[in-house]
Amino acid sequence: MILYRPVGTAELDLIAQSGYKSFPPRLPEQPIFYPVLNKKYAQEIAEKWNTKDTSDHKGYVTQFEVDDEYCSQFTVHTVGKNYHKELWIPAEELETFNQHIIGEIKVISVFSD
């Protein structure tokens, strides 16, 4: 399954430190890791939210592949418009989720305010 994750610079730096192989652990106030199912929605978040939420005003869209069978255990949630689709991964499951990433996490879009 191809998934997308909009991130800010701090999270991207942590992804880079992993060799572009994994996402960093969630913060205590972040109980869910939510990759999104389409590029359009990821770009919307990166451009409208990540650029406003970081000190350098940059947002990035990452793309990565995860084993289909593993992903099938998670429910797809629509959280707004019909293309606002996310997988909700409990924070305690993120380490296992990372182990099912196939290949590298790629940066496919960059936005700045």
Q: How far apart are CA 55 and CA 70, in angstroms?
A: 35
Residues 6+ apart with CB under 8 A from 19: 104
> Higher pLDDT residue, 57 or 87?
87
Give the model confidence (pLDDT) of 2-28 as tens digits.
Answer: 999 999 999 999 999 999 999 999 999
Q: How far apart are CA 113 and CA 106, in angstroms?
A: 21
pTM score of the predicted model:
0.94
In the chain, how many H helices and how many E strands?
Answer: 5, 7
What fold is seen in the domain 2-112? ADP-ribosylation fold (3.20.170)
Q: Would you state the structure tokens that stand for residue 62, as one six-digit string? A: 């990452």
Q: How far apart are CA 23 and CA 10, in angstroms?
A: 12
Give the model confidence (pLDDT) of 29-62 as tens digits.
Answer: 999 999 999 999 999 999 888 777 667 889 999 9
